[in-house]
Amino acid sequence: MRRIMLLTIVVGLLLVQGVGAAELKADTDAQDIRATILKSAAGWSTLNPDNNDPIYTSSDRAVFFDVAPMQYVGWAAYKEGFRKGFAGFKDMKLALNDDLAVHRAGNLAWATTTWKLDGHLKDGKDVHLEGRATLLLEKQNGKWVIVHEHYSVPAQM
């Protein structure tokens, strides 16, 4: 009887440890996802899209929606479009608001947030934009990468 009780306690402790490990893994993934998204905003803020290479898929079939133009197909096209679209900027900062929400299902995750962009053009004008973003991430080779994103600004009514 004592052996059965002891075995029951040991199995119970192992199960509790397993649940704790799964929760810890989920928390770690959520932190990694958030860090990837924040790195993305910091990378865009450098005005050099190459800085985001490690955190975006290199797929030539991935679709990205930006403020303008309507869409880019492939990471290379997105980077080139960003370079052209932001060529007139002297500097800028893309800041995510504190409403960043992350959701995960297995090796996929999605996030929503609102953002602000402040910058200075080379001609001396200031730029301020506010908008929203949705990002889709996939865990590839043990790290989270952005495989789709949709940045937009509200229509002016």
Band of the pLDDT at 26, cuts 50, 70, 90?
low
Record the tokens describing residue 129, joined without a space.
Answer: 């934009």
Collapse the DSSP code of 109 into the 3-class scheme (helix H, G, I; strand E, B; otherwise coil) and give the result: strand
Rounded CA gap, 71 and 74, in Å? Answer: 10
Q: Tokens 């958030």, residue? A: 34
Q: Does the pLDDT at position 16 exceed 60?
A: no
Instruction: Say which DSSP state 137 is in.
Output: E
* pLDDT above 90 coverage of the chain, percent: 76
Please tell me the predicted confidence (pLDDT) of residue 106. Answer: 94
Collapse the DSSP code of 96 into the 3-class scheme (helix H, G, I; strand E, B; otherwise coil) and give the result: strand
Compute CA distances 144 → 29, 34, 86, 87, 105, whole Å.
Answer: 8, 10, 26, 29, 13
Q: Which fold has domain 2-152?
A: Nuclear Transport Factor 2; Chain: A, (3.10.450)
Please tell me the predicted confidence (pLDDT) of residue 25. Answer: 53
The pTM of this model reads: 0.81
Q: Does the pLDDT at position 138 exceed 90?
A: yes
* Domain ranges (residues) in the chain: 2-152
* pLDDT above 70 coverage of the chain, percent: 83
- How far is the first Cα of the chain from the last one, in angstroms, to the nearest whole number? 75
Note if the bond before 49 is cis, omega within 30 degrees. Answer: no
What is the residue-averaged pLDDT of the chain?
87
Record the tokens describing residue 35, joined without a space.
Answer: 């860090």
